[in-house]
Structure formats: C-alpha cells, structure tokens
Amino acid sequence: MGRAKRAGPTRTMKRTYRLNLIRAKRSYSVKDASDLLETHVRTVQGWIKDGLKVLEGSRPYLMMGHDLKAFLTEKTRKRKRPLAEGEFYCFRCKAVVTAVQVERVETGKVMGHGQVGVALKGACAACGGKVNRFSALPKGAVSATDPQAGAV
Ligand SMILES: [Zn+2]
C-alpha cells in the first residue's frame, strides 16, 4: 500500500556506489574510479561535467577520493528528493526532467483515503524517452476522460 503511493525513482535507488571503497586521500583517474565503483568510464566523465572536482591542471583528469565521495553522497541525496508537481524522473537522462505530451491514466486502484491511483505518462522534454510517475487523485477529481485531464 505505502509502496504504491510513492512517486519517484524508486527503482534507481538500488544503484548505490560502494563509497566505503574510496580512500579520501588517494587520487583517482577516471579509469580508477570507474573500475572501483563498477561503473562506466563515461559515467565518471559525466560526473565531472556535472561538477565533480578534478585536480587543477590534471590531464588526464585526476580526482581526490574525498571529492569523489562528497560528490556521490550529494548526488544520492538529491536523487531522493521527492519530485515536485510536473516533474518526472527520466531513466535515460538520469535526471529530473519536465515532460511533454503528458497523459493521465487512471490505474483504477483505490489507494488510501479514498484516493484513486493515477499514472502520468509522457515523454522526456530533453531526450524524448518515455517517463511516467504515479500519484493519487482525491476521489471524484477529474478523470482521464475529462477534457482538462491533459493539463497537468
Ligand atoms: Zn530524458
């Protein structure tokens, strides 16, 4: 019951990095970090683009363990933020995005407090991939057949 009520990227939460493997005072290359955390080199390069600190002037990039740890801790924390109205989590972009062509589909399930479960389906405004989220409407609120339903 409580699980269905949650909106958000619950599936991605399994993707946690083993931060305890990172040694704060060691420096890591992109390759070292990707090997250590069992992720792709490109993922680590993406983190650098997203603001992961690298040692000034290092080519190829080197990053300090403590910076890497801090960055990933922050990333995980941000990801757990509940989505605001109109936000979707895109699994392709791995980011919170806005969506276009949003459709509201009633799941037909009555959730707690007499609310009706709805799925919002749309396309990621950034990459066009499918995004969806689940929420609940108070009973008697606009249905999927309502002309207003597209205005989410
Ligand atoms: Zn996307």
Return the domain boundaries, the chain.
12-79, 84-145
Joined together, the tokens standing for residue 80 give: 């757990």
pLDDT of 72? 93
List residues bridging with 103 in a β-sheet: 121
Question: Longest Cα pair distance anywhere in the chain, in angstroms?
Answer: 61
Determine the distance separating the centroid of ligand 1 and the alpha carbon of 42, expressed in angstroms. 17
Looking at CATH, the fold of the domain delimited by 12-79 is given as Arc Repressor Mutant, subunit A (1.10.10)
Tens of pLDDT, residue by residue over 41-68, are 999 999 999 899 999 999 999 999 999 9
pTM for this prediction: 0.46
- Per DSSP, the residues of 47-89 read HHHTT----TT-SS-EEEHHHHHHHHHHHHHHHTSPPPTTEEE
Interval 97-109 mean pLDDT: 87
- Expressed in angstroms and rounded, the spacing between residue 27 Cα and the centre of ligand 1 is 32
pLDDT band at residue 79, thresholds of 50, 70 and 90? low
For ligand 1, the distance from its centroid to the CA atom of residue 72, given in whole angstroms, is 21
Ligand 1 center to 114 CA (angstroms): 33
pLDDT at 128 over 50: yes
Cβ–Cβ < 8 Å for 83, 96: yes
